[in-house]
Structure 1
Amino acid sequence: MGILPASGRFMCTTCRLRPLRSISVKTGRLYYDDPYLLEFDATAVETRSVGGHFGVVLDKTAFYPTSGGQPNDLGTINDVPLIDCIEDEPTGALIHVLQDTIDAGPVHCRIDAGRRADHMQQHSGQHVLSQAFVELFDWPTVSFHLGAVNCTIDLAADGVSREQAEKAEDLANRVIRDNRGVFVRYVAEENIVEAGLRKATERAGKIRVIDIEGYDRSACGGTHVRTTGEIGGILITGLERAKKQTRVQFICGDRVIRYARMANHALEAISQTISAPPLESAAAVRNLWEEHQQLRKQIEQLESQLIDYEAAQFPVNNGLAVASFKNRGIDKLKMLASRICSRPGTIALLADEGDQLRVVFARSADSKVDVAALLKQTVERFGGRGGGRSNLAQGGGLTGSAAEVLQFAQDRCTGGSGM
């Protein structure tokens, strides 16, 4: 860690860092009482190398560090971009990680206003939504994550239906429309039980509580709006069940507007493509999909009939059916080989030259040739990999031409080498 020298310039002693506990300053957190503070002055007091970057400790800060599911703020210190803000929990110091070094002493700081406002909307919205699930269904929130695109809460619920999610969403949006006050309160540890928190806290000392008027109280160190109306709105965008919990994906505020705009553009494009009104597009797409599935089955049936005809006409010389194809596909190749080998005393050696050379070897039920062993010899000679059973095997990634590979396999069959 670097300490301010008499020269007033930071000296980063990366090669001989002291333990973090040597940080001597507990950073004052301005965002606790004024999350709307976006520009402030402070004093740079200590430094540290963090992952090869320059880190600085201020005597006070309005930059929020990554904590409690909420990402850190961004901005500048003396016009140098901030790339991270991390907390040293033992000391209470916040380390501001910068793109470049700065001078010691007084610093001027600016917070990315858009990012801060977005995080305030998402975090306050999470409190509102979590309480809605508790109030309606008694499902507590186990964890929270504020992402760059989506936010999630994990509920202690084995399953959440779309109808239940929409009921919670409706309640949350009513609370937002009520424009209730959101207050920061500090409660002594010995009085925390009487505070009526939604979720018990393990924090000690003076505990910061976010109080949504007449609705929710939660211990929290994050940045929040002054009134629920500033959240703007909540939209649940997905539900995922995992390990006896349900992950609820949601967005708030300006993110809802952006999502609605993108969804509307997508819906308009689909509507124009299938020539159906936007609100009828889902049913129209469902009908198209069902038609597609039916046509796919018909195509598969016709392809199967065609392969039956092809197999019946396929030339077999001395019990061997040998051929190579271009981009036939391994599944169709296996089907053709199996149908060819419905004839007694037949071995099929087929190759497909697509993105890589693939082979399929098959034999009829009365043949004693082990095509898996034949494939193993072929792979040993031409590389690649594969496997199968004694009556049907496949391989891919072979080197050389299809003609060379098939000739090798054919020679082994006619010569009986290893068969």
Structure 2
Amino acid sequence: MKDLLYYQDVMLREFDAHIISKETDEFGRHYVVLSNTAFYPTGGGQPHDTGTLNGIEVIDVEKVGVEIRHYMQGHALELEGFVHGTLNWPRRFDHMQQHAGQHILTAAFVELFDAQTVSFHLGSEHVTIDIAIDTLTEQQLTAAEIRANEIILENRPIETTWITENELSDFNLRKEVAVTGDIRLVIIPDYDYNGCGGTHPTSTGQVNAIKILGTEKMKGNVRVSFVCGQRVLNELAMRKRVLGDVARQLSVPEVDAATALAKILSAQKHTEKALVAAKEELLTYEAKALVSSSSGLVAAAFQQRTMQDLQKLARTIVSEQEDMVTLLVSESEGKLQFVAARGKHVSKSMKAIAEKALPLINGKGGGSDQMVQGGGECIISKEDLLEAMQNV
């Protein structure tokens, strides 16, 4: 392991090696095994490298047993003898920045709050660590972020060394290592000592910056999302675009966007409440108008009325006219809906009306003796459905 090119020189971007074997796995994917490689395989929370071998794309790299398999796009079997490998360097360096940033931020949580990281994931946009702690306050997050960026600004070296199990006691490791045999340590002197098989830059300054984005509860731990290096600038650019767009739509400076938006949302809530009250009042007037033109039975068909409107209208009618029955039908968005309700001085069950109406529209519904509702297909007109309900 210690002789692999990505461990010998983490900054190596190109290399030469000869092909040991060319195979196809059980999924039909072509891969080659090289005499040595600078391509890092997926492992330890860090994704694999990509790049090319003699111009042919390397799309995946996996360690299977003692082999490091380079999965190729296209005609991998054409490769012969010595090959020239070229890494997708922006991807590799991004992974190095994120992984080193994780070490630095994790160590900050340990140093400040004695809170260990129990898992780590390097995603394509964000990085997450799960911290073994019940809660993290905004003040704690800020303190950890400040401490991590102090370590970056100091541009401390990031060193690696290989040791044996017998030598573990010579180092103040952040956590116990899970491997045996040769053990690789990644060290930021006087700050963090950790067993790790990933790739990292040679100094903390190359991480550039760390920015915590948010937290969430995760199985008794706190998951912290963050970005490092170029991803900080990408995140800032994205948020700048969004904030700028919001500010333009609100016609205010960006610094005033949050206040302006809060005012608009507050006004919207008041408007919505006023609209609900006005709608309730209109339904009351509509109910009185329907009652005034009817005797014992209110039957009406509507267009584009919601089930909620029909129900409120029916309740208003029968609550004010306790000896009345109301039958309401609406055609809305290609469906027929109905409500049937009775006043408390009426003995007739509304279930009988639903039993008549539902088969006519291939519908579903339910309710009680006092009130039923249902909906179905527009296979008859709303007027025909209303007439059928009146004839029960």
TM-score (norm 2): 0.89
For the Cα contact (< 8 Å) 2:350–2:371, is it kept in 1? Answer: yes
What pairs with 1:19-418 in structure 2 (closer than 5 Å)? Answer: 29-44=4-19, 45-49=21-25, 51-88=27-64, 91-102=65-76, 103=78, 104-314=80-290, 316=294, 318-326=296-304, 328-342=305-319, 343-366=321-344, 367-371=346-350, 374-375=353-354, 378-403=357-382, 406-407=385-386, 410-412=387-389, 414-415=391-392
Q: Percent identity?
A: 35
Partner AA of 1:382 in structure 2: I
Q: d(CA) in 2 for partners of 1:226 and 1:292?
A: 54
275-284 or 303-312, larger mean C-alpha shift: 275-284
Q: d(CA) in 2 for partners of 1:57 and 1:392?
A: 74
Change (3 A) 1:236 1:339: same
Q: d(CA) in 2 for partners of 1:397 and 1:78?
A: 64
Q: d(CA) in 2 for partners of 1:371 and 1:58?
A: 80
For the Cα contact (< 8 Å) 1:28–1:61, is it kept in 2? Answer: no
Per-residue displacement from partner, 1:284-322 (whole Å, max 9, x unpaired)?
Answer: 222221221122111111111111111221254652423
2:25 is paired with a residue whose SS is strand
Partner AA of 1:33 in structure 2: Q
| Shift, 1:249, TM fit | 1.0
Q: d(CA) in 1 for partners of 2:329 and 2:28?
A: 54
For the Cα contact (< 8 Å) 1:73–1:116, is it kept in 2? Answer: yes
Aligned residues: 385
Partner AA of 1:77 in structure 2: L
Partner AA of 2:7 in structure 1: Y
Per-residue displacement from partner, 1:317-373 (whole Å, max 9, x unpaired)?
Answer: 6524231322x3333333223223323244444344333414142313524555466
Partner AA of 2:67 in structure 1: A
Q: d(CA) in 2 for partners of 1:391 and 1:379?
A: 17
Change (3 A) 1:154 1:72: same
Change (3 A) 1:347 1:185: farther
Residue of structure 2 equivalent to 1:12? none
Change (3 A) 1:112 1:350: farther
Q: d(CA) in 2 for partners of 1:352 and 1:169?
A: 59
1:324 is paired with a residue whose SS is strand
| Shift, 1:195, TM fit | 2.0
Q: CA RMSD in A?
A: 2.5
Per-residue displacement from partner, 1:86-116 (whole Å, max 9, x unpaired)?
Answer: 221xx23222222223234322221111111
For the Cα contact (< 8 Å) 2:325–2:343, is it kept in 1? Answer: no
Per-residue displacement from partner, 1:8-28 (whole Å, max 9, x unpaired)?
Answer: xxxxxxxxxxxxxxxxxx996
For the Cα contact (< 8 Å) 2:296–2:323, is it kept in 1? Answer: no
Could you tell me which runs of 5 or more consecutive residues in structure 2 were left unpaired when the two chains were aligned: none
Partner AA of 1:362 in structure 2: A
For the Cα contact (< 8 Å) 2:337–2:376, is it kept in 1? Answer: no
Change (3 A) 1:205 1:296: same
Q: d(CA) in 2 for partners of 1:56 and 1:385?
A: 61
Could you tell me which runs of 5 or more consecutive residues in structure 1 were left unpaired when the two chains were aligned: 1-25
For the Cα contact (< 8 Å) 1:27–1:94, is it kept in 2? Answer: no
